Structure formats: C-alpha cells, structure tokens
Amino acid sequence: MTTTPIIGLEVHIELKTKSKMFCGCDAQHFHAEPNTHTCPVCLGLPGALPVPNKTACEWCIKLGLALGCTINEETFFERKNYFYPDLAKSYQITQLQKPFSINGHLKVDEFDIRINRAHQEEDTGKSVHVNGETLLDFNRSGVPLVEIVSEPDIPSPEIAKKYLLKIQQIVRYLGISDADIEKGSMRCEPTINLNIDGKFTPMAEIKNVASLTGVMTAIQYEIDRQTQQFEIDHIEKNSTNKTTRGWDADKQQTFLQREKEGSADYRYFPEPDIPPIIFTKEQIEEIRQTLPEMPDVKFAKYKALNLSDYDANLLSEDAGFSAIFDRIVNNNDPTYAKFVANLLIGPLKTIEITLEKINPTHFKTLYDNKDKLSSSAIKQLILDAYNSGDDPLELAQKNNLLQVSDTGAIETLAKEVIAANPKAVADYQKNPLSIGFLIGQLMKASKGSANPQLSKEILEKLLSL
C-alpha cells in the first residue's frame, strides 16, 4: 500500500499598514483598548461607504511579484456572505474571481510549490471569552489581510513548515507584515487528504492552528487519522467530500467542525460600493522596482563568495542582518567575507546590532591587523568598538592587545629565555613537544604581546643551531 499525502496551505498575512483596509481607523490593534479603533465602516453600520487602502493593494501586488505571480491589471472586490458574531456586516470584502496575484510558485528544498493566488481582503473582529461570557472587540475588524493559497503540492509536514517559514521570511523582507504566528498576524489553515493506491480520502481543512509546531503536528495527526479511517471505510470510489476540522492543541487532536460549505454557500457577488481597481502595466512595473533583493538571491550571492551553506543561510535569514553584512563587505574578497561572517555570526550575534551603528571601517581595520591580534582579542575588540564607536586599533593599543611580530625583538627575548632555562632546553632536546614551556616563558617575558606562532618558530630555529 502506497500512501501519498496531498497537502495545501492557506496563509493569511496581516499587513502592517497605518490604517485599515476600507476606512481610516488605526490598523495597529495589539494591546489597544477594545473597540477604540472603530468607525461606522469597520463596525458595518448601514450606509457607511468603504474606500480601499492604496498601500495595502500595492503591498498585495508586491507580495505577488515576490512570489513570481502574474498580476491582474484590472480587479474588483466581492462580498463573501456569512453570519458570525465577529463579522459586523455579515459579509467579508474579499476577492474571488480576480485576485491581484495569481499563478506564482515558491521553491522549498527540491520542491516547486505552486501558488494559486494571493488576494486582498479584510480581517474580522475578535470574540473574547471572559468568565463564561463572550465579548466582541472590533479593533481588528477591517485590518488588511492577504490570503496566499498554495496548490496541494506540499508532500510532508516538514515541507509545510519550511514553506511557512519561507513565506514569513519573504513578507518580513518586504517589510509588509510582522508575520508573527503566535500573535496571529500570520495564520494558516492546512488542507490534507491522502492518495492511497490511487484512491483519495476525503479532504479535511484544519482551523485554529496557532504555532509552527502545531501545523506539523496537526498535519501528521490528520495523515494518521485518515489512514486509519481508510482502513475502516475501504472507500470504493474517490471521495469528494470536504470537511472542516478544528485543532485542539491541548489534546493534540483534530475534531470535526462541519461538513464543508462550497463557495456557492457564501453567495459571492461584486462589492457594489467599490469600483473596479485598475493598476496599469507601468504602475505594476514601478512596484516591481521597489522589490528588495530576496533571500534566495542573497543566499546565492553569499555562496558565490565561497561562504558555507551554514554561513550563507544565517546571513540571508533576515533582511536587516544581511543588509549589515552587505554594507561591511562591499568587495568580492572571499577571505574578507569569511572574516566578517565569523564576527557577525559569532560575537556580534550575541547582542542587538543595528545598521546605523555599524561602522564598516572597524571591520577593515581589524582585518588589516589580524596578524597582530589573537582571535579572542579580535572578537572582544569588535564588540568594544561597536559599543563605544572607538577605533579598534586604538583600543588594542590601549589594552596592550597588539602582538609583537617584530622578529628582532622576539629573538632577543628568546635568547634570554633560553639562557635562563637550561633544564627546559635539555628537556626539549629529548622531547620536542616540551617546547610549550619555553613558549610560555617567552610570552610571559613579552607580557603576552609576542605572536605565539612566531615565538615558536624563532625558538625552534635558535634551539636547532
């Protein structure tokens, strides 16, 4: 028996525009006093007229472009009708027939996941349950949402997680959303069914998954559950039933919520209060020009600098972090790139650094003097230079961290050490490994400033005479 999971993901991303999707209310709703960011439009009062947020539309197109989508130049909004307490109008303004963005794709490992659409819509209010009562907060009502729908091309829970991380990385690169799953500014609904020897189990859509681990566990639970159910049912022909299931994070189980409604049940129709939205080819091209260098491109660029997969990954993970690296490394020298990468991923990763405070000259100075500094001194100096803004070489001098690489000076000291330690010299003649003691004496005589490698070489040379 061969079982192939068929997994798709619907991802909702809350855009961090200043105002809401169809009114001027403040869209920032976290920790706000309930029902203070509201007006007749987002409360759904009769007669209130929606006005689309231009920035939100542009960001939806921008995201579509980043996902390799085709952009529909002419689109229109539609009403999706359903009743729910947190939906004051009893319809959501969304896009069904003509989304802003269609037919994109996203590469995750070796899989090319097709993206069906990225469309613009609005968020609902929130039901808050307190002491057995349900309260409603409409601060979130009308906040711009983009829904990204993948084709069912995702083969496993692990790839689903990676897909989500990539979407999160892209929207953060674009600066259009915090995409924080725990805070709900990124939400996802997996759909799963199985192909078991050519027969298909009924598709389940999973709601209320509120963490990345939850997504993986819920998908795996559903794969197991559908496999067991198939063994009981022995489906005779392909199932077309669709169900909606909830995810219970405490029990780590999905449970049946409802037999799925088709889109006909929502009675979609064009939003009569908003005229069609038109973006010309030129306007779309202008938006394309604002796209930053995306993570995959950054990664390839760093690999071309001979950096390891590990380094390239860490450096391209976050837009801000890679911008810092790019500012410091503005040449194509792989040795310098590796030197800087080690400092950024090493000592500087332990503190919060900002692009504004980073001084590329500090890195160049340390690099040019790296032969006179121990590696631990370099690590300390870059931190001190970052925090104080002082020149790292001056700091090194002030703290006596510069190693003496002057052969003459070290040779003089080495001769003194040899003369003062006849027993250690005799030991060395019997066992060359015991040179460590003499190097130690030489370092001590130089007050720690002698370059250890050079000291070793000079001692060996003098002792072999």
Could you list the residues that contact Mn ion (CB under 5 A)?
A: 147
Identified binder of Zn ion from the candidate list 9, 21, 25, 312, rule CB under 5 A:
25
Is there a contact between 78 and 93 (Cβ–Cβ < 8 Å)? yes
Find which of Zn ion, Mn ion, none residue 25 binds, CB within 5 to 8 Å per kind: Zn ion
288's tokens: 């394309």
> Residue 88, interface with Zn ion (CB under 5 A)?
no
Query: Would you call 235 helix, strand, or coil by DSSP?
Result: coil
Q: Which range touches Zn ion (CB under 5 A), out of 35-43, 102-110, 332-340, 343-351?
A: 35-43
* Residue 201 per-residue DSSP state: P
Is there a contact between 319 and 173 (Cβ–Cβ < 8 Å)? yes
Nearest distance in Å: CB 210, Zn ion: 26
* Max CA separation in the chain (angstroms): 101
Q: Which range touches Zn ion (CB under 5 A), out of 31-39, 81-89, 370-378, 393-401?
A: 31-39
Other C-beta atoms within 10 Å of 463: how many? 15
Nearest distance in Å: CB 18, Zn ion: 13
DSSP string, 380-422: HHHHHHHHH---HHHHHHHTT-PPB--HHHHHHHHHHHHHH-H
Identified binder of Zn ion from the candidate list 7, 23, 60, 219, rule CB under 5 A:
23
Q: Which is nearer to Zn ion, 24 or 320 (CB)?
A: 24
Is there a contact between 76 and 50 (Cβ–Cβ < 8 Å)? no
325's tokens: 């690296």
Q: Which is nearer to Mn ion, 147 or 153 (CB)?
A: 147
Q: Which is nearer to Zn ion, 23 or 445 (CB)?
A: 23
418's tokens: 């040899």
Q: Which is nearer to Mn ion, 267 or 327 (CB)?
A: 267
Q: ∠ at Cα 321 (319, 323), nearest 5°? A: 70
Give the integer Cα–Cα distance in Å for 60 and 49. 22
Q: Which is nearer to Mn ion, 14 or 147 (CB)?
A: 147
Cβ-closest position to Mn ion: 147
Find which of Mn ion, Zn ion, none residue 462 binds, CB within 5 to 8 Å per kind: none
Nearest distance in Å: CB 122, Zn ion: 10
Identified binder of Zn ion from the candidate list 39, 196, 345, 353, rule CB under 5 A:
39
Nearest distance in Å: CB 145, Zn ion: 15
Find which of Mn ion, Zn ion, none residue 42 binds, CB within 5 to 8 Å per kind: Zn ion
Query: Would you call 242 helix, strand, or coil by DSSP?
Result: strand
CA 290 to chain centre: 19
> Residue 42, interface with Zn ion (CB under 5 A)?
yes
397's tokens: 């001098």
Block residue for tokens 């040019």 = 368
Q: Which is nearer to Mn ion, 123 or 311 (CB)?
A: 123
Q: Which is nearer to Zn ion, 39 or 462 (CB)?
A: 39
In degrees rounded to 5, what are phi and psi of residue 213? -65, -40
Find which of Zn ion, Mn ion, none residue 147 binds, CB within 5 to 8 Å per kind: Mn ion
Find which of Zn ion, Mn ion, none residue 204 binds, CB within 5 to 8 Å per kind: none
Residues that bind Zn ion (CB under 5 A): 23, 25, 39, 41-42
